[in-house]
Amino acid sequence: MKQVNLRAMIAIRFALLVLTVIFLISVASNILIKRQFEKYVEEKQNTQTEELAQNLSSQYDDAKDKWNLDYIHGLGMYALNEGFIIKLYDSDENVLWDAENHDMTLCHQMMNTITFRMQEERPDLDGDFVTHRFDLKQNQKVVGFLDVSYYSPYYLNENDFQFITTLNHILVAVGIVSLIGAIIMGLILANNITEPIVKTSEIAQQISNGHYDIRFHSDVRAKELQNLTEAMNQMAGSLEEQENLRKRLTSDVAHELRTPIANVSSYLEAIIEGVWEATPERLQVCYDELDRISKLVSDLERLQQVENENLNLQKTEVDLLELTKGVVRNFETKISQKNIYCLVDGTHVIALVDERKMQQVVTNLLSNAIKYSNDYEGICILVEDTGEQVVIQVKDDGPGIAKEDQKWIFERFYRTDKSRNRKTGGAGIGLAIVKTIVQAHDGQVKVESEEGHGSKFVVILPKSEKPV
């Protein structure tokens, strides 16, 4: 399919929209104005015939019983030029003045001209000349009769047709000017809309090439476009942070592998060259270092297994408070060895979860709390029922987590102790497993922490399946 420039598409469609609106308005205006004008012409024609009757009535002299035929002649010729053919009778219906008798050729010519013009311009009227009789009265006495012939229902003279033609020309001119203005406004509008989109597209292309530090700074006022640019900047920032996390992950894995491999290599090299004797103690050191590598590989396999198995959760109704107490009992020895205490409180909440995986969630959170707790500090675990959800909180009095680290601690191999202190140990996948399992249950996990004031991990789970 042929691709079209977005700017041109918007401009063209905007212009077509305006053109359509202008066309509809012009047609409606033309119809309404013409209808009103024709109604005005018809009423004017009726008014003129009545005025002719009134004027002619005044031309009878009752005292002399005589009509002013000179005035009647002038008025009759004037009326003929206006499209009215008059015939005047006295009270006995004797013809006093007839336009056809005075100028039959002019009357016929006028009638033919009007009929031809109206049939050509307005054939829908199906009009023709009609005659209307008026009683001419003075002092409530009929002094004569007037026959007025005219084109019915109305007729338009040359000036009237010229007015309608001019009106159509004006509407067309307004349409053309409006169309030109619409095209210009459409181009301006299209440019305002597409500029941030084009810029965002260019930035997206640069981001795809690995330039994650690029940002789009724009002052667009449209909310949707502003959201687009903000989303692009957020995506770039997230990718930049993910890239830094990936580099750190590579560095951490390399660090985890480099030290034990180097130790084993140096020990074995010294034993092979006869510098050292292969004593059980030295072989035990080699074994311990290899065991560290083995545990790292096992951690990776365990994380992969958790991610794969979460596609097939074996959900049953589980009392999460009892489950938590059971996990704590498994850690009684470690808790005692560190001279710390662990309190479990809350309500018995039944939730539909995978029991084995939820045990692993609580185990990982409790293991971290124990690992980072100092002697004589405490750990509190609270299980709450909020109605449709269950909340498990694991709080410790450890060193806390820096604000900049909190959004990354659930990523695999991320550890807040940059020096990878052997005291804490671990490969940094425990919280990644927690996040994976909780999300598989349509839940969420978050951390609330402040450096020097401990940490609180909060797991929020639905109590039952979501409706389909």
* Arithmetic mean of pLDDT, 172-188: 79
DSSP letters for 121-137: H-GGG--EEEEEEEEEE
Question: Is residue 252 very low, low, confident or very high in pLDDT (cuts 50, 70, 90)?
Answer: low
- What is the token pair recorded at 230? 């903000």
Name the residue with higher pLDDT: 221 or 31.
31
User: What pLDDT, in 10s, does the model give residues 351-386?
Assistant: 999 998 899 899 999 998 998 888 888 999 999 999
Instruction: Enter the tokens of residue 310.
Output: 């979460």
pLDDT at position 419 is: 47
> What is the per-residue DSSP string for 231-291?
HHHHHHHHHHHHHHHHHHHHHHHHHHHHHHHHHHHHHHHHHHTTSS---HHHHHHHHHHHH
Would you say residue 260 has pLDDT above 70?
A: yes
Question: Which of 5-19, 120-134, 357-371: highest mean pLDDT?
Answer: 357-371
Which residue, 384, 380, 356, 346, is CA-closest to 460?
384
Closest of 405, 400, 365, 402 to residue 245, by C-alpha: 405
Q: Is the pLDDT of residue 4 over 60?
A: no
Predicted confidence (pLDDT) at residue 245 exceeds the cutoff of 70: no
The neighbouring-strand residues paired with 394 are 381, 457
Each residue's pLDDT tens digit, 306-332: 666 655 778 899 999 999 999 999 999
**Of residues 423 and 304, which shows the higher confidence score?**
304
pLDDT value, residue 390: 94
Q: Tell me the whole-structure pTM to 2 decimals.
A: 0.48
| Average pLDDT value for the chain | 81
